[in-house]
Structure 1
Amino acid sequence: MLISESSLRTFTQNIFLAMGCSNEHAELAADVLLLSDLRGIDSHGVARLIGYVRLWENKRINAIPNITIVHETPTTATVDGDAGLGLVVAPFAMQLAIKKAEKYGSGWVSVRNSNHFGIAGYHTLMAVEKDMIGYAMTNASPLVAPTFSNERLLGTNPICYAFPAGKYPPVVVDMATSAAANGKLEIAQRLGKQVPEGWIQDAAGNYTTDPHALKSGGSLLPLGSDRDHGSHKGFGLSATVDILSAVLSGANYGPWVPPFVAFLDPPANPVGLGIGHFVGAMRVDGFRPVDEFKAHMDNWVSRFKSASTVHPDQKVIIPGEPELEAQLDRKQNGIPLVDAVVNDLNGLADKFGIKRL
């Protein structure tokens, strides 16, 4: 099913309003989810909406949070999200980081007591709009086993950098530190497809292509899949995200991070509050004039786009390029939603008494 951006945006805002969010927060939360769908990251868009509603119903999401700064220096801060939507809490933190960067050159904010914050790229692009380099990461529910382990101790723990350019779009490096994001498994489940080898292992530590393997004790693998292919590097990146997002902020880390799904209870012995994020903004002109930087970013992009390739029908893909192509297409032609997601969304519409898709 194809649905226009405006229709899906209105629908999503109405769901958040029905949860009790303010108009401002409903618009912001919908904006974060819609950007994900527009950029082709279907795993983190409106398909997640039912998950937020279920967590709210189980009193694990506060629709009217009092987001506060609990620790602060001129260039750093720690924010408590009051169990609010990460879709609202993380932009608050990034705005704070940007304000600090505007005055001091850079700003760094850790966040505790939050929830799933959508795509990391949304938050970094906020900094790019101000001619800054954006940085965002979050820890997540433990689904990933460290190298050599079959115990789920880390989340998919995405990390994102975004760099402004001149005539070219921003370079946006937005990736999970696991071999694949959990949302990719959810997409495979909806489509009834297997996943590539190297994404998941079963409870015994053997590779499997079954997207349902997590339900029987399996785990996602770190970026690199195994030690021979660099999974220790993926593990290291994921550990960095976990420490900066949670150990630094006072959120839960490692196996204590609460699950995104409502039918699983959070760990009984939490070591912190909610899940954690870490965001940052750096003024480009703190290092060199913005125009010079953007000119050289354009040169960088141009040189990599012109690189020779192994096969004539291939091209070097600049980070963020496929997402932008999807965004341009979907703004014009509509956002595709699979039947399973449409059914979930219409179920929410019926629950709250709003117009179906």
Structure 2
Amino acid sequence: MERQFLESVFKAQKFSAKDGALLADTLVDADLRGISSHGIQRLAWYSRMIKDHTLEPERQPKILKETPTSLLVDANKSMGQIASAFTMEKLIAKTKQMGVSLAVIRNSNHFGTAGYYSRMACKEGLIGISTTNTRPLVVPTNSLEAFLGSNALAFTFPADPHPFVFDGATAVVSSGKIQVLAKKGEQIPGDWAVDENRNVLHDAKTVEDNLAKIAFSEDRPGGGVLTLGGQDEVNSNYKGFGNSLIIELLTGILAQGSLSADTNKGKHDFSQFFMTIDPALFGDLDVLKANATKMFDRIRHLKHLPGTKIMIPGDREYRHYDENLEQGVSIDETTLAEMQAVGDEFGVTVPTEETVED
């Protein structure tokens, strides 16, 4: 029901049937995997970006430069998912011929979960790498103001019973998780964000309001999300800072687009980087896949704390996917109200079979 609703809304917003189906699939896929920060709760934001022409639904990505192993793509203000899936499909074909290929995209926007595109490669027996920069949200080590994006990185590797899928921000958390907590009226459970004096904040609504000002205003306040490693240098937060800078170099710099720090003005553009590698360059795919699977199984069965499980990246998401296919996904009341408003605007009925959280 969620998928049908989304496809109907995207059609009304003048996306093609193919593009609308892709956008719906990326959001539904995120919700099914328990990544509600990147699921249907993003719909209202996408709709606002269409209205202010940050996004142009009828635009299509264009190849600016191409070699047998590389692509430079102009997303042309299309939705990030559209340009990213287009690019990953091209890379998969190139890598099957050449063994490795890579691409950067400019003039793009939010592309959903980075893992969606890396999994596209893994379905073809390839290693997939996907990254993006974002709005300015993250404070560098010792900084009082945001400069970096949450700058997601996804990496996949073939394995059984499912691929290895690491998909996460290079900050402590993505802004979407804070948005979801704010919509539910809940507190932030960890040390994720700070104010203008670098004091840790736990009220999700306060943090979300501040992040919105940082991300969408040129006169931005101080504070923001912390890098991996958290508040203090003694906990190696400079390593998280370094990881985030690597993503900035691979995206905004290579694509000659905007830095995360500058995406809140001018073109309002994001940049993305993708790479695919054929493991068969180095050995038989079945052997490599089996060896990876054995390593993960050994880790899962290490001695561990009572009442806990050792989970390999991807385990939780694939478990959620199977469970949610059976029981449906939960949608908070604020997101449901946003869906209702978007649905009313475009004459699309909101589904009633979803589970609404109290």
- Name the TM tier (shorter chain): over 0.9
Q: Give 1:12 deviation, angstroms.
A: 0.7
Report the Cα distance in structure 2 between the residues aligned to 1:26 and 1:66, rounded to whole angstroms: 13
Call closer, same or farther: CA 1:37–1:214 in 2, change over 3 Å: closer
Q: Distance in 1 between matches of 2:135 and 2:225?
A: 11
1:16 maps to 2:10: yes
User: Are 1:300 and 2:306 matched, yes or no?
Assistant: no
Residue identity opposite 2:191 in structure 1: G
Secondary structure in 1 matching 2:8:
helix
Q: Deviations 1:185-244 (Å, cap 9, x if unpaired)?
A: 111111212113420110111112122235343311101112111111111111111110
Matched residue, 1:233: 239
Structure 1 segments of 4+ aligned residues over 6 angstroms from their partners: none
Which of 188, 191, 201 aligns to 1:195? It is 188
Q: Percent identity?
A: 31
Quote the RMSD (CA, aligned, Å).
Answer: 1.2
Would you say the 8 A contact 1:98–1:280 is kept in 2? no
- The corresponding residue for 1:154 is 148
Which AA in structure 2 matches 1:201? V
2:93 pairs with 1:99? yes
> Match for residue 216 of structure 2?
none
Question: Which structure 2 residues correspond to residues 323-334 of structure 1 after superposition, within 5 A?
Answer: 323-334=317-328
Are 1:284 and 2:259 matched, yes or no? no
Secondary structure at 2:27 match in 1: helix
Q: Are 1:346 and 2:313 matched, yes or no?
A: no
Unaligned runs of 5+ in 2: 211-220, 352-358
Distance 1:197 1:162 in 2: 27
Q: Secondary structure at the match of 2:274?
A: strand
Aligned residues between the structures = 338
Q: Is the 8 A contact 2:179 2:208 kept in 1?
A: no
Q: Higher mean Cα deviation, 12-21 or 273-282?
A: 273-282
The code of the aligned residue for 1:295 comes to: A
Spell out the pairing of 1:1-357 with structure 2 (5 A cutoff): 7-165=1-159, 167-211=160-204, 212-213=206-207, 215-216=209-210, 217=221, 218-225=223-230, 226-258=232-264, 267-268=265-266, 274-309=269-304, 311-357=305-351
Q: Note the C-alpha offset of 1:100.
A: 1.2
**Any conservation in 2 of the 1:197–1:207 contact (CA below 8 Å)?**
no
Kindly indicate whether the alpha-carbon contact (under 8 Å) linking 1:96 and 1:109 is maintained by their aligned counterparts in 2: no
Rounded Cα–Cα distance in structure 2 between residues aligned with 1:35 and 1:287:
32
